[in-house]
């Protein structure tokens, strides 16, 4: 965390609510990031677990530094870890969009918005 701090009340109010709303709406949950500061919040960790267990799909960035909570998520069935590197960064966005378009929560034909 270094010189940065975390406002747990703001995280619990805004981020946790947004994750729950996305799960309730049965839409893609996008989290940037599940890192050391966010993991200080038990409510945030519970919301992430709910998104994984009940949600339609989730894309999240995670810190590279090992953390037991993140390692538990990565070990779950159906979770895929994609590592960003200088070698893959140019084509990664297109590859991820192609994958996401296969997910039911990201298909515009189910009435969830415009194609992207």
pLDDT in the model for residue 19: 97
pLDDT at 108: 66
pLDDT in tens, 42-77: 999 999 999 999 998 899 999 888 999 999 999 999
What's the confidence (pLDDT) of residue 116?
A: 47
Integer angstrom CA distances of residue 116 from 48, 74, 107: 25, 27, 9
Please give the model's pTM, rounded to 2 decimal places.
0.83
Residue 111: strand, helix, or coil: coil
Higher pLDDT, 107 or 31: 31
The answer to whether 63 and 38 have CB atoms below 8 angstroms apart is: no
Whole-number Å distance between alpha carbons of 55 and 53? 6
Is residue 109's pLDDT more than 70? no
Higher pLDDT, 113 or 109: 109
**Distance (Å, whole) CA 41 – CA 39:** 5
Give the whole-angstrom CA distance, residue 15 versus residue 20.
9
Q: Where in the chain are the domains? A: 8-110
Average of per-residue pLDDT values in the chain: 88
Tokens of 20: 């729950």
Residue 97, CA atoms < 13 Å, CB-side half-sphere: 7
Amino acid 113: pLDDT: 53
Q: What is the pLDDT of residue 86?
A: 92
């Amino acid at each position: 965390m270094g010189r940065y701090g975390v406002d747990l009340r703001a995280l619990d109010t805004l981020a946790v609510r947004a994750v729950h709303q996305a799960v309730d709406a049965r839409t893609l949950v996008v989290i940037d990031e599940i890192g050391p500061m966010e993991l200080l919040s038990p409510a945030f960790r519970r919301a992430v677990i709910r998104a994984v267990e009940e949600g339609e799909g989730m894309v999240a960035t995670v810190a590279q530094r090992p953390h037991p909570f993140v390692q538990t998520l990565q070990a779950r069935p159906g979770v895929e870890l994609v590592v960003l590197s200088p070698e893959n960064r140019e084509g990664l966005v297109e590859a991820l969009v192609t994958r996401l378009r296969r997910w039911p929560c990201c298909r515009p034909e189910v009435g969830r918005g415009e194609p992207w």
